Amino acid sequence: MTAPFLKEQSMEFGWTPEQEALRAQVRAVIARELPPDWDAISRHGPGSRQQTQFSLDFCPKLAAEGLLVPHWPREWGGRSAPPWEHFILGEELWAAGEPRGPQYMNVNFIGSTLMKFGTPAQQDRFLPEMAAGKAIWCQGFSEPSAGSDLAALRTRADKRGDQYVINGSKVWTSYAGLAQHCFLLARTGDGKSNIAIFLVDMKTPGITVRPIPSLIGVGDIHEVFFDDVVVPEAMRLGAEGQAWPIIGYALSQERVGIARYAFSRGVLDRMVRLLQQRGQFDDAIVQSRAGQALAACESARLLVYRVIDQRARGLPPNAESNLARVAVIAADHAVADFGLAFLPDTFSGAVFPLHLSHHERAIAAGIASGAAEIQLNLVAFDHLQLPREARA
């Protein structure tokens, strides 16, 4: 990916020597720290008990190498590394099946959101733990009546003195089973403007977590019930009614935060290697379909890089991140479909555990963290400037 004939600063798509060195360092850490049975550990996805527990061992080692929060400022344990470095890190770790487990959320958006909107006390309470690789968070957003239409959420936070009492329920909550903290959205009054964010200790009395058996990994999604859960006012993030701009900021960090195409590309490489070992890759039809899936991955990669490039320039987030999400979802499905077409036997038994994990991630890709259709809406409105349809 180097273009030696182009001078620096012109449009080019290569990596600097520093970026190449960082990538090599991350790969070396992955090679050294992932155990021989890593594929089996990561089989059930980042939210599984095995992978979450592994992350509590792995992330401190990353932190010791300066590779957990390099993009954070020095005062919080980072070195203000440019966005590209954080992204290269994410690419390599996702390509390996995400050994950070649920902690990828901390470094992608929860930490930076706390830095921007949190009180000094909140920052002191939560950021050192994240930077040490010891924090597991879940995200209390979706509810039975509020999925894509997040503003329809009903969970209530009633102010009583210097506390809030929270009642309601969340659903499809990833990582809730093992999380220490919840980044919770709750309503302080009627309407979109009366929503606030709370940083809730998951051990607080009144919280009940039930795993939901699902197609996408053991321990991944949950129902979370809040019955008279008391949260100190000091654990409200931002002001009452400020939730929407904070969520907008968090999602702008999150939208292309997960280098899913890198995971898809890594799994595609391994699928092809297996087909080659079996002598099944000499078929032009198989090769063509592999090339098609590869093109989908690389198209998604470049659209994501475009967004990171804008972030690195300090430009405000825009709908190109939604455009990139659309392409990332397509890439996940292209690779998953390739596996179904040419390696059907690996969906039974434990022939190729990472392949199963990828399949389960892929089928959720267009649903989790903003459905594909919501991304298309945002592309239509904000990128193509099409008129908004009158809502029912």
Contact 43, 101 (CB under 8 A): no
Question: What is the Cα–Cα distance from 93 to 102, expressed in whole angstroms?
Answer: 12
178 touches other proteins (CB under 8 A)? no
Phi-psi region of 142 (alpha: psi -120 to 50; beta: other; left: phi over 0): beta
Q: Site for other proteins (CB under 8 A): which residue of 145, 148, 193, 292?
A: 292
Residues in 11-30 at the binding interface with other proteins, rule: CB under 8 A? 11-15, 19
Residues 6+ apart with CB under 8 A from 56: 101, 133, 134, 136
Min separation Cβ 371 and other proteins, Å: 11
Contacts of residue 14, Cβ cutoff 8 Å, sequence gap at least 6: 1, 2, 3
Helix or strand or coil: residue 318? coil
CB of 299 to other proteins, least distance (A): 3
Smaller CB separation from other proteins, 91 or 360: 91
Residue with tokens 């022939």: 351
Nearest distance in Å: CB 369, other proteins = 17
Closest to 302 in 3D by CA, of 319, 284, 323: 323
CA 18, 20, 22, 24 torsion-angle sign: negative
| By CB under 8 A, residue 159 contacts other proteins | no
Report how far residue 265's alpha carbon sits from residue 271's, in angstroms, rounded to the nearest whole number.
10
For residue 373, state whether it binds other proteins (rule: CB under 8 A): yes
Which two three-digit tokens encode residue 229?
A: 């859960």
Q: Is 371 in the site for other proteins (CB under 8 A)?
A: no
Residues 42-101 that bind other proteins (CB under 8 A): 84
294 in contact with other proteins (CB under 8 A): yes
User: Given the complex with other proteins, which of 13 and 347 has the nearer CB atom?
Assistant: 13
CA gap 39, 354 in Å, rounded = 6
When asked if residue 284 is in the footprint of other proteins (CB under 8 A), the reply is yes
Interface pattern 298-317 for other proteins (x via CB under 8 A)? xxx-xx-xx-xxx--x----
| Residue 170 in tokens | 């969340």
Q: Which amino acid is at 78?
A: G
- Decide: is 391 part of the binding site for other proteins (CB under 8 A): no
Nearer to other proteins, 302 or 363 (CB): 302
Interacting residue with other proteins among 162, 190, 345, 389 (CB under 8 A): 389
| Contact by Cβ (8 Å): 221, 48 | no
Q: How far is the CB of 226 from other proteins (least distance, A)?
A: 34
Among 167, 289, 367, 371, binds other proteins (CB under 8 A): 289
Closest separation between CB of residue 177 and other proteins, Å?
35
Residues that bind other proteins (CB under 8 A): 1-3, 5-7, 9-15, 19, 84, 269, 272-273, 276, 281-284, 287-292, 294-296, 298-300, 302-303, 305-306, 308-310, 313, 320, 323, 326-327, 330, 373, 375-377, 379-381, 383-390
